Amino acid sequence: MILKKKYTLKIYFLIAIISLISAELFSQQNDKRFTVVIDAGHGGKDPGNRGNNYYEKKIALKIALTTGEILKKKSDINVIYTRKKDVFIGLIKRAEIANKADADLFVSIHCDAHNSNAFGAGSFVLGLHANQRNFEIAKKENNVIFYEENYQQKYDGFDPNNPESVISLTLMQETYLDQSIKAADAIQKSFKNNLKRKDRSVKQAGFIVLKYTYMPSVLVEAGFLTNKKEGAYLNSSKGQKEISNAVADGIINYFSSLKLSLNKNDSYQAINLNNDNEEIYFRIQLAASSRSLEPRDYNFKGLSPIFKEKEGDLYRYYFGKVKSYSEAKKMKRKAIRFGYRSAFIVSFSGDKKVKLSSVIDWNFKRIQQNIH
């Protein structure tokens, strides 16, 4: 009787564990809505560029708010703004808003300026300047820090006028670079295909506002206020609505591509888990990228140990290796605290990746066999 009661309790305990793991699995596959932070550049005491006497800060705000309203019509997209009115917000604060929101994408809206008659829309991701023009664009946007008190301390001595200062900016966004480029490319295609705007392509430059975000991030230059015709277009209700639609469409297309490829690149081995000696363990996937990074803690915000595995055209980067699922959940929470909000648990058998659900079923059957 006591033995039977013991087995019954064991089964109840097992069912409870499986329920918790199943809930975790469901949450990994059906997480929160896709959160986009829309950042209207400049604001308050920072007017932005004044090409043809327009105010970049006002135009950026109108485009940002309209873009957000379009995105809000999608039930699976959540929109957060860094500002909704004409106020000054520091660059680090903008990134903090996105990080606190656990955003999936950060899009900063701006208008460009040049001493020529340049025109067209361009999108930027964080990176080293490919040429002097990209450096000048970044310098213009980065000069915003001079409006902030104690900017030298806040930005660790960063000098917008020194190209070498940008090298230190690029490391943190390295793991999100591929996705940032994909998002920027989707927005650029929307400008080109929907509005027939001149495509100034996706470029890399050292924008401070993109450094501190823990998610794919894009800075959009919607056009040139210094171009008489384009400046008037950007300042018009028609132009702002069309640009907002194009940006929103690009974001939606990027989000759709993520949903389509969610499981496309995951290859799981069909493993026969009948051997009690089979080594089952868990790792936390932090990122997947076509770029090869050294699996060192300084490349992954201090997390260690890091494992790199090539799978098809992608390198997958994993954190930790534990046999306990509860320990794996702790590691996942740690990865999220370090900024890897999309981190998830992956199970392995030997050197082969296996579905987490298969591991659960295998453990359930093994315990049942032990009971009987």
Q: What average pLDDT is seen over the chain? A: 77
The C-alpha atoms of residue 237 and residue 65 are separated, in whole angstroms, by: 13
**First-residue to last-residue Cα distance in the chain:** 15
**Residues 362 and 235 grouped into a single domain:** no
Among 260, 288, 303, give the residue marking a domain's end.
Answer: 260
Tell me, what's the pLDDT at 119? 93
The answer to whether residues 187 and 170 touch, using CB atoms and an 8 Å cutoff, is no
Over residues 163-182, the pLDDT tens digits come to 444 444 444 445 677 788 88
Q: What is the mean pLDDT of residues 338-353?
A: 81
- 205 and 300 both lie in a single domain: no
Comparison of pLDDT for 214 and 73, the residue scoring more: 73
pLDDT given at position 299: 80
Average pLDDT over residues 340-365: 72
136 has a pLDDT exceeding 70: no
Q: Range with the lowest mean pLDDT among 153-157, 307-311, 331-335? A: 153-157
- Select, from the ranges 7-16, 214-223, 335-344, the one with the highest average predicted confidence (pLDDT): 214-223
- What CATH number is attached to the domain comprising 254? 3.40.630.40
The answer to whether 36 and 107 are in contact (CB under 8 A) is yes
Please tell me whether residues 309 and 226 are part of one structural domain. Answer: no
- Sequence length of the chain is 372
Question: Where residue 371 falls among pLDDT bands split at 50, 70, 90?
Answer: very low
Q: Indicate the number of domains in the chain.
A: 2
Residue 144 has pLDDT above 70, yes or no: no
State the pLDDT at residue 361. Answer: 54
Q: Which of 197, 231, 260 is at the close of a domain?
A: 260
Q: Is the pLDDT of residue 65 over 80?
A: yes
Residues 44 and 156 grouped into a single domain: yes
275 and 256, same domain (yes or no): no
Give pLDDT, residue 184: 93
Tell me, yes or no, whether 38 and 9 share the same domain.
Answer: no
pLDDT at 186: 95
Buried b (16+ CB within 10 A) or exposed e, 34-51: bbbbbbbbbbeebebbeb
Q: Which of 217-226, 244-253, 357-366 has the lowest mean pLDDT?
A: 357-366
Residues 123 and 206 in one domain: yes
67 and 25 belong to one structural domain: no
For residue 161, the model assigns a pLDDT of 54
Q: Could you say which of 239, 260, 281 is where a domain stops? A: 260
The answer on 58 and 26 residing in a single domain is no
Q: Look up the domain containing 284 and give its range.
A: 2-30+264-371
Can you give the CATH number for the domain in which 346 is found?
3.30.70.1070
- The mean pLDDT of 71-93, rounded to a whole number, is 94
Residue 207 is which amino acid? F
Least confident of 80-89, 242-251, 265-274, 313-322: 265-274
Rounded average pLDDT over 105-109: 95
Looking at residue 25, what is its pLDDT? 47
For 4-59, what is each residue's pLDDT tens digit? 555 555 555 545 554 555 555 444 444 468 999 999 999 999 999 999 999 999 99
**Are 24 and 100 found together in one domain?**
no
pLDDT (average), residues 193-210: 80
More confident: 62 or 314: 62
Three-state secondary structure readout of the chain:
CHHHHHHHHHHHHHHHHHHHHHHHHHHHHCCCCEEEEEEECCECCECCCCHHHCCHHHHHHHHHHHHHHHHCCCCCEEEEECCCCCCCCCHHHHHHHHHHCCCCEEEEEEEECCCCCCCCEEEEEECCCCCHHHHHHHHHHHHHHHHCCCHHHHCCCCCCCCHHHHHHHCCCCHHHHHHHHHHHHHHHHHHHHHHCCCEEEEEEECCHHHHCCCCCEEEEEEEECCCHHHHHHHHCHHHHHHHHHHHHHHHHHHHHHHHHCCCCCCCCCCCCCCCCCCCEEEEEEEEEECCCCCCCHHHCCCCCCEEEEEECCEEEEEEEEECCHHHHHHHHHHHHHCCCCCCEEEEEECCEEECHHHHHHHHHHHHHHHHC
Co-location of 230 and 295 in the same domain:
no
User: What percentage of residues in the chain have a pLDDT greater than 90?
Assistant: 37
pLDDT digits (tens, 9 = 90+) for 251-310: 999 998 887 654 444 444 444 445 544 678 899 988 877 678 888 887 888 899 999 988
Does 252 share its domain with 313? no
